[in-house]
A = this chain, B = another copy of it.
Amino acid sequence: MSKGNLLSVREDVQVLDATLRDGGLCNDFFFTDEFVRDLYNNNLEAGVDYMEFGYKASKKMFSPEKFGKWKFCDDEDIRSIVGDNDTEMKIAVMADVGRCDYKRDIRPREESPVDMVRIATYIDTIRHATAMIDHCHKMGYETAINIMAVSKNRTEDIRAALDIFGQTPVDVIYLVDSYGSFYPEQIRDFTQLYLEYAEKYDKKLGIHSHNNQSLAFANTIDALKEGVSFLDCTVMGMGRGAGNCRSELLLGFLKNPKYMVEPIFDQIQNHMVKLKQDGVRWGFDIPYILTGQRNSHPRTAIEFIKQGRTDYNNLRLELLDME
């Protein structure tokens, strides 16, 4: 079932940088404008296809004083960085079911620099998600649906969800490994499952991985090999907890000459190294192995690391107690 070999160029591949969005979960979205502008320019030079600027969160639910502007992604804030974005790279934002006032905040595409809205949902709220897809589609946007935490769901329910989303106008369906618990052979199997519906309904597939078990890159390129097109990555893997698939690994792997890894290293040496030095925390660490192996939300591991603890076997017992 392999799609291509290690030297193939697959024209369907789309690289999506989610550094501001998933990375923003590590610093409450307080990125400097210089960081964001350089990231935009570096992604552009690197050949990245989509750049996700952050969340489209409701300002009624979340205080703009407690979060940086990329939690809200006002059109004018994006415009202050990208102007009219007269480039090949598209702009994405994420809208969470239950955290977004989408009817008010997601306005017609012709008034916005945004090209794609990615809708994130758990499986029990998919009817809210389909309503959001319909709205965003009517507003003229490309749409993607990220069904989160499927590692906790039954296969029958995932099939039902895929069948429902297949019948919406959504463009891309994402396989999301929220807890970094999937092994490559599971990712290959899941990709085949998702492909059944993608082919039936003529949808594209995406993969969003987490690095809890040090498998984010492996899972991404295995999903690619099986037929996934949209590949999420973040610079230096910046993202919640153990973080995501690293842009520098992914872009160094892809063979299409449009992709360049140098600008990503520029972003790292000019910005990411400093973020780390300033104490912003993300990336693979031992506690995430434990939550990943147990298919648990990483919050327990994040807290454990924050407290400077290294009594890993106690964490292991605490996680068992939580089940």
Which chain A residues have a beta carbon within 8 Å of chain B's beta carbons? 2, 5-6, 183-186, 211, 213-219, 221-222, 225, 236, 246, 248-249, 252-253, 261-262, 265-266, 268-269, 273, 284, 286, 289-290, 293, 310-313, 316
Cβ-defined contact, A313 with B265, below 8 A? yes
Cβ-defined contact, A184 with B222, below 8 A? yes
A310-B273, A313-B266, A316-B265 in contact; A214/B213 too (CB < 8 A)? no
Look across to chain B and name the residue whose beta carbon is closest to the beta carbon of A217: B214
A183-B6, A269-B310, A313-B269 in contact; A215/B217 too (CB < 8 A)? yes
Number of identical protomers: 2
Cβ-defined contact, A248 with B286, below 8 A? yes
Which chain B positions have C-beta within 8 A of A266?
A: 313
Cβ-defined contact, B185 with A225, below 8 A? yes
Cβ-defined contact, B249 with A213, below 8 A? yes
A214-B217, A217-B213, A249-B289 in contact; A6/B186 too (CB < 8 A)? yes
Look across to chain B and name the residue whose beta carbon is closest to the beta carbon of A245: B214
Can you pick out 23 interface pairs between chain A and chain B where the beta carbons lie within 8 Å of each other? Answer: A2-B185, A6-B183, A6-B186, A183-B221, A184-B184, A184-B218, A185-B221, A185-B222, A185-B225, A211-B214, A214-B217, A214-B246, A236-B286, A246-B289, A252-B289, A261-B316, A262-B313, A265-B312, A265-B316, A266-B313, A268-B310, A269-B310, A269-B313
Which chain B positions have C-beta within 8 A of A216?
A: 214
Sample of 10 further A-B pairs with CB below 8 A, known A248-B289, A268-B312: A5-B185, A6-B185, A6-B186, A184-B218, A185-B221, A214-B246, A215-B218, A218-B219, A265-B312, A268-B310
